[in-house]
Structure 1
């Protein structure tokens, strides 16, 4: 391939890197009921087992920045793709809670490490292109999730055995990786850069904002259906419509978001997104009937869509910490928001009610909008 065409190939390869973990996590999401029945565990035990995925991701994320800096993004992403592809079949075969938890831990480590490293790659590719591209990259994680869930649902509905459906999914991820891996970045950073570092200054501030943004996304993932059934009295068979509305809106907004961010700038995009998401949470919480409150899910999807991509770009452009370490820190804090957020909402809902807990999420998003005045590089 000519040097002139290589940047475009690297951009497509970066989109493929985001697609893979989104597709893989969707495969697991469709396997959860089968894994629960096969291992014969109750809801409480399943909750503990599911924590293994998050634990693996949180432990792997800080190390992935180190390896990306020392070995280059390509080697790390190839290794993590292999880990993901090797462990997904185990999720369809594990016969005990212990085995399922162990496989989930390794699977989570692969997904978490891939998540950090692909953002490091994306920042480099975006910077060299000299135009905003991060929202579009993140959209392909959502596209991967949608296609993974749709593919598995179609295959399982056709009475295909879970392991057969999963192996077909692994084959699809393998083809995507084979076509794109040669265009993943392979350069390393200088060896005098620190191996690991605690985030400080602007990087810590960006990480805290990422924690809140991902907390809001986690709230939609884990609590939107509960809110519709418990508060709005929607039948459980229709309760997923809130999250579907949110995620489809966010995907479309990310596909269109780069042009918006390029026009108004990253900081204004974060402010506008946080205000929209705040308004959306208030609408879905306070507006009745539930059909009208779906507009709130649309606003939250529009608002959240471009906050995280803009924060990753800011982390990559700051000069207080090495790029790989900074992006790793922001990724880790953001993922902690997804894990801890639903638990915090549950704690608040238990003491103050679910409506009050959601209003608290809205206020946190308002704080993101107000605090961006201190986002100075």
Structure 2
């Protein structure tokens, strides 16, 4: 391998390490919430407000770090976000009251969002430098980190205690970042963007891509939060089987994200997005109309195959909008996209009181007509002519 090729490979693995670390900390948050509820005697309703604070903080800081990417480059922004983000589980573990916990969770959510924008921007910069797609597999590394954090976290908290678990995760993440930081791609913003005023884009393209990302992420949130309820309450599945709805979706998503870059490189972003959307629509429709739980679980698994690469393609497209600073376009699309994860649970819960989950999942299948109709916008994610 040439020296340039080795350097390109190092930058590719460095940004993948950032995604893994982010996923590891976010995954570790999942088992920490019930431990914090027990320590501070927090009720379910207050815990719900804490989760909302996490989402609000995330959405608030995404545009700020998008502007920082535009001004200083993604490497600078992601280093800042990662350094501040790394010890966040320790702060949460030391919070002495529900109000202090709310403040730390709000900051935690903000740094999750800020790091998310910056590391996606760095992945776009690496794609541009190598002229090769890497975004899907970066999100695959995030999924691996989330799986590791959530899978090991509960046992670690039970065995070591909440604070010791937080310190252990912090040390692991710090060690990985220490290895990754020197190899990050140091991108510099173009001169015309360096002193760009901090304002929302005036071109409609990033907002349309954001709508595409939003419609793609709502079904993912709906499966995450409600698949088990649907399988248990409407299909009569036992609790042990009900959890397989999201597990099937998450498993196929992880596999397809590692395969997605090669698929996009071969067939182009637009065609990959279209086929992915059709597969996701078929999976959601199968889950909605399934006569037995296992058929619904298969439908969720099929939906995961389709959903896996839709958002990474949208993020790549947003980072390459012509004439727009990369961090600004990405911050718009990530904010709009992740608001789907934030808004979907409550909205679907409200609808579920008035209609069946089978109707809701069928409706979500039809919602994916939005990214299908907007799929031509994904051509900016390609590194070759055509789409």
Shorter-normalised TM-score: what interval?
A: over 0.9
Name the structure 2 match of 1:87: 88
1:132–1:228: structure 2 CA closer, same or farther, 3 Å change rule? same
Aligned length: 376
Which among 274, 277, 283 is matched to residue 277 of structure 2?
A: 274
1:375–1:121: structure 2 CA closer, same or farther, 3 Å change rule? closer
Name the structure 2 match of 1:172: 172
Unaligned runs of 5+ in 2: 381-387
Which among 300, 305, 318 is matched to residue 302 of structure 1?
A: 305
Does residue 240 of structure 1 match 2:262? no
CA distance in 2, matches of 1:306, 1:186: 26
Contact map agreement 1:349 1:356 (CA 8 A) in 2: no
Q: How far 1:166 sits from its partner (Å)?
A: 1.7
CA distance in 2, matches of 1:376, 1:136: 19
Q: Secondary structure at the match of 2:368?
A: helix
Q: How far 1:242 sits from its partner (Å)?
A: 1.1
Name the structure 2 match of 1:44: 45
CA distance in 2, matches of 1:89, 1:152: 14
CA distance in 2, matches of 1:260, 1:6: 24
Name the structure 1 match of 2:356: 353
1:18–1:323: structure 2 CA closer, same or farther, 3 Å change rule? same
Unaligned runs of 5+ in 1: none
Larger CA deviation: 191-200 vs 217-226? 191-200
Does residue 129 of structure 1 match 2:103? no
Q: Secondary structure at the match of 1:351?
A: coil
Does residue 28 of structure 1 match 2:13? no
1:361–1:258: structure 2 CA closer, same or farther, 3 Å change rule? same
Contact map agreement 1:83 1:107 (CA 8 A) in 2: no
Q: How far 1:227 sits from its partner (Å)?
A: 1.2
Name the structure 2 match of 1:283: 286
CA distance in 2, matches of 1:274, 1:123: 22
1:84–1:199: structure 2 CA closer, same or farther, 3 Å change rule? farther
1:92–1:241: structure 2 CA closer, same or farther, 3 Å change rule? farther
1:222–1:246: structure 2 CA closer, same or farther, 3 Å change rule? same
CA distance in 2, matches of 1:49, 1:76: 26
Q: How far 1:284 sits from its partner (Å)?
A: 1.2
Name the structure 1 match of 2:384: none
Name the structure 1 match of 2:188: 188
Q: Secondary structure at the match of 2:60?
A: helix
Does residue 206 of structure 1 match 2:209? yes
CA distance in 1, matches of 2:235, 2:333: 35
CA distance in 1, matches of 2:38, 2:52: 18
Does residue 328 of structure 1 match 2:340? no
Give the TM-score taking structure 1 as reference length: 0.95
For each residue in 1:99-138, what CA deviation from the matched residue of structure 2 results, as whole angstroms up to 9, or x when unmatched?
1111101111111000001111011101111122211111
Name the structure 2 match of 1:15: 16
Contact map agreement 1:83 1:106 (CA 8 A) in 2: no
Q: Secondary structure at the match of 2:86?
A: helix
Q: How far 1:92 sits from its partner (Å)?
A: 2.4
Q: How far 1:19 sits from its partner (Å)?
A: 0.9
Larger CA deviation: 280-289 vs 83-92? 83-92
CA distance in 1, matches of 2:33, 2:290: 33
Give the TM-score taking structure 2 as reference length: 0.92
Larger CA deviation: 353-362 vs 33-42? 353-362
For each residue in 1:287-317, what CA deviation from the matched residue of structure 2 results, as whole angstroms up to 9, or x when unmatched?
1210122111111110001101111111122
Contact map agreement 1:282 1:296 (CA 8 A) in 2: yes
Q: Secondary structure at the match of 1:317?
A: coil
CA distance in 2, matches of 1:61, 1:199: 18
Q: How far 1:236 sits from its partner (Å)?
A: 2.8
CA distance in 1, matches of 2:89, 2:241: 29
1:346–1:162: structure 2 CA closer, same or farther, 3 Å change rule? same
Contact map agreement 1:71 1:186 (CA 8 A) in 2: no
Contact map agreement 1:35 1:94 (CA 8 A) in 2: no
Q: Secondary structure at the match of 1:193?
A: coil
CA distance in 1, matches of 2:230, 2:91: 33
